[in-house]
Amino acid sequence: MDLNKYPFKDRDVNWLSFNERVLQEAEDQSNPLYERLKFLAIFSSNLDEFFRVRVSRLRQIKKIDKQLRKKLALKPNKRVKEILQRVKQQQERFGEIFHKELIPELAKHNTYLVQEKNFDFSQLAFATEYFISKILPLVTAEIIDLSEAKNVFLENNKLYFLVTFEEQDNFGLVNIPSDELGRFICLPSENNTSIAFLDDIIHLNIDQIFDEQKVSGCFEIKLSRDAELYIEDEFEGVLAEKIKESLSQRNDGQPTRLLYDSAMPKEVKRKVRKFFGLGKIDMMPGGRYHNFSDFFGFPDPTNNPILHYQPANEIKHKAFNNNTDYFDVISQRDQLVHFPYMSFNYVQKFINQAATDKNVTEIKISLYRVAKQSELTTSILKALENGKKVTVFVEAKARFDEENNLKWGKIFEEKGASVFYSYPKIKVHSKILLINRKEGNNIASYAYIGTGNFNAKTSKIYCDHGLFTANPKITKDLIDVFEVLSGKMILPRPKHLLVSPFTTRKTFEELINNEINNAKNGKIAIIKAKLNSLEDKHIIKKLYEANNAGVKIELLVRGFSCLIPGLDGISENITITSIIDRYLEHGRIYYFENNGEPRLYIGSADWMTRNLDKRIEVLVPMLNNNCKRELIEILNIQLNDTIKARIQDNEENNNYKKKMDDKPSIQSQYQIREYLNERHSPKNMLSEQYF
């Protein structure tokens, strides 16, 4: 199949458009002030991971033989230069938002971020005492002799001061211990709230650290390192052990970006680059301060409610909230839950009930990102104490969560669970739970399949969906999935679930082909999808084919997309929007019109090659009509968002979607809350349409 004639966006460059949408939220004056600061923190955190993962990948490609790169049409240098140019523009915009908008807004609320040059007498005295008693014991300072080869290691994403001296070519290097002390220090003040960067208190006292030299300059730097774990010979040995052994490499990875204070003199910058063996492309100018992800913890001593999002009441699920026997509720009909509008406790309570129910014989669960401590993990341990057979699949390659996942895998194993880890070259990304229960002379199976992780903390900020079901059509397929995970089955043959890498791609292509055929036969043909990322070229090609057949395609893609919508003769029937709002859109919903009998799926897989071919993913069809209607309504609300939806097109301007003159404005996350509130209202408890 020749894909070269089809137009595709570059995923890494388009990802920067996604991060720009986060920056737009920091600019949006309708957001509370402290939430705007958090969007700057999200932007910064996203960018750090992008350099650690994606830019480092491009650097690895540079090591491939040039002739092979040419044959594969790989141009990493050109790509990196384009990325750095756009990042530079975004960081300048970032600085404008912070200094010209948010700092003045803080001042309007009598909160000041004070630099050390503006400390008053009492603040100077406080800063000096704080430095001596709290900071100095945690500071490691060293002199770098540029004339000698010396092994100086900068830890990944840690903050340092590079110090220059009068009449010396040597440098000083000082760590900024923000992990231990926090990034922000509240200063004494009678009339306002004064807050200082920890950095500035160190800067103020830098002469005390280098008391034998005359300091001429002090510049903050931060190095990002490669986050990928390049494990050789994956088929040899136990992969979980290799991951565990390789975790230390994460901080030792090759540099991908040195962020430095743009006030650093050109000659100093040249010497720094040479000393650390960096290329010009590795150097990224920034402001006075780095690691703006620390603004997640920016203090608000006033606890002023207007500076934050108003607390949102959790919607009480109409069925679960009035019945303590979840098995009874689920056996009667399928039940949907939606986070963060509803509490994750419904999932935790179900597992806890299973742990204590005398009729439950077995619990099976796959864990992609395990919380450090939660009711869920406690319930699993309780199930083991009560003699239940427990099987846990732990993903050992969940990026940045490997260590915690492996820790819990060991705990479960020690307590008697059957624990399975990753397969070589494949991740288990599915969010699935299966409970077997003795009922009379039979064993009944109950399942939960979700779009998000089994994690109570992230469920408060990630928009996800989950289905509870006892439908044998679903549970029978899920039993086979767990047989695959435990190594007892090689090739599952699910009849209803979509299971990657076995049936998902094939089924999606069949569903798209069905819409193509319907369009060609004059029938209504529609595809709607909500997902995080759209990258797989074969799926994109099928969508282009569907466009040319007359299929109407509406996509909601939160992150990056390699499909180019709105091109005449290629994608004029395809629209893409993206929503960035209070919560992180994370759910995946796939809708196919199917000539008036819609087919609808939710699950863990995006339309990315890795999700279709290189991960164990599970998507579940909506077989219950009430659940199907509920999800269709939610999907349509989001597709009609006119406040937080941005149009994705070839120009990548991130223009907001405009409302029609005859229709009201829709902010979908708030509209969905209203919809679910109404749907689960006590007045609708006895209405058949709500059961």
**8-state DSSP, 193:** E
Q: Any binding-site annotation on 304?
A: no
Compute the radius of gyration of the chain from its Cα atoms.
Answer: 27
Crossing angle of helices 345-356 and 375-385, rounded to 10°: 10
Please tell me the distance from the alpha carbon of residue 666 to that of residue 24, in angstroms, as a whole number: 18
* 369 in a known ligand binding site: yes
Phi, psi (rounded to 5 degrees) for 20: -65, -35
In this structure, the number of other CB atoms found within 10 A of the CB of residue 10 comes to 14
Is residue 280 within 8 Å of 166, Cβ to Cβ?
no
Strands 584-585 and 360-367: unpaired
Q: Is 399 annotated as a binding residue?
A: yes
3-state helix, strand, coil in the chain (%, to 5): 40, 20, 35
Question: Which residues does residue 337 pair with via DSSP β-bridges, in sequence order?
Answer: 466
Length of the chain: 691
Neighbours of 181 (CB within 10 A): 15
Tokens of 233: 């010979």
Regarding beta strands 215-225 and 159-165, do their DSSP bridges make them parallel or antiparallel, or are they unpaired? antiparallel
Catalytic residue among 429, 465, 496, 538: 429
Q: Which helix (H) or strand (E) is 264 found in, with range?
A: none
CA angle in degrees (0–180, nearest 5) for 558-562-564: 100
For this structure, is 429 an active site residue?
yes
Under 8 Å between Cβ of 581 and 644: yes
Which of 211, 116, 133 minimizes the C-alpha distance to 172?
211
Q: How far is CA 207 from the centre of its chain?
A: 41
Strand stretches in 368-441, DSSP E? 389-394, 418-420, 427-428, 431-439
Q: Considering Cα of 350, then 353, then 357, then 362, what sign does the dihedral take?
A: positive
User: Does 437 show up as a binding residue in the annotation?
Assistant: no
- Judge whether 393 and 420 are in contact, CB under 8 Å: yes
DSSP string of 482-549?
Answer: HHHHTTS-SS---SSSEEETTTHHHHHHHHHHHHHHHHHTT---EEEEEES-B--HHHHHHHHHHHHH
**CA dist 407 → 13, 230, 258, 284, 500 (Å):** 36, 21, 32, 36, 27
Q: Output DSSP code: residue 52.
A: I
* Residue 8 burial by Cβ neighbours in a 10 Å radius (0-12, 13-18, 19+): middle
Q: Determine if residue 586 is labeled as part of a ligand binding site.
A: yes
Q: What is the C-alpha to C-alpha distance for residues 38 and 35, in angstroms, rounded to an integer? A: 5
- Which of 598, 591, 518, 529 lies closest to 558, judged by CA? 529
Residues with Cβ < 8 Å from 652, sequence gap 6 or more? Answer: 14, 17
Residue 675 annotated as binding site? no
> In which residue are the tokens 């600061």 written?
37
Pair 119, 127: CB distance under 8 Å = yes
Q: Work out the burial of residue 210: count CB atoms within 10 Å of its CB; fewer than 13 is exposed, 13-18 middle, 19 or more buried.
A: middle
Phi, psi values for residue 71, rounded to 5°: -65, -35
Rounded Cα gap, residues 174 and 202, in angstroms: 9
> Which residue ranges are tagged as binding site?
46, 369, 399, 462, 558, 586
Binding site for Mg(2+): what residues are annotated? 369, 399
Catalytic positions, please? Answer: 429
- Binding residues for ATP, as ranges, are 46, 462, 558, 586
